[in-house]
Amino acid sequence: MTVEEQNLVKLIMSWDITPEHEQDYFEFVIRDYIPGVQRMGCELTDAWATVYGNKPQITVSVIIGSPRKARQLLFSEDWLSLNNRLQDFIQNYTMKLVYARNRFQL
């Protein structure tokens, strides 16, 4: 069964790291953010860093089981708490929810 046939959704997030918080950001992401997102049932599928150009510095994608599960996740206290902590280290945060495809998505 393909990703399309499973009706999975992908949450695509992007941001820039606040320059004065780079070390704290990396420690938070490795120690708390990635494990926290995985504990909430998300499957990390993509993580990109832009090294040149006028695009978001970081882009991360996670797969979530269904649109209903995505809505539950995005309004959960655990998700809101984790993402509020992420905001301490970043700027220009965006996110979008799309149906997952068997190809690269931005």
1 pLDDT higher than 60: no
3 pLDDT higher than 80: no
Cα atoms in the 13 Å half-sphere on the side-chain side of 68: 0
pTM: 0.87
Q: What are phi and psi of 101, to 5 degrees?
A: -125, 160
Please report the pLDDT score of residue 72 as a whole number.
Answer: 96
42-91 pLDDT per residue, tens: 999 999 999 888 899 999 999 999 999 999 999 999 999 999 999 999 99
Q: CA–CA distance from 91 to each of 11, 71, 76 (Å)?
A: 18, 23, 22
**What does the alpha-carbon distance between residue 76 and residue 32 come to, in Å, rounded to a whole number?**
17
19-46 pLDDT per residue, tens: 999 999 999 999 999 999 999 999 999 9
The two structure tokens encoding residue 98: 């799309």
Confidence of residue 102 (pLDDT cuts 50, 70, 90): confident
Least confident of 4-13, 59-68, 90-99: 4-13
Residue with tokens 């993580």: 47
Adjacent-strand bridge partners of 13: 60, 95
Domains of the chain with bracketed CATH = 3-99 (3.30.70.100)
**What does the alpha-carbon distance between residue 24 and residue 29 come to, in Å, rounded to a whole number?**
9
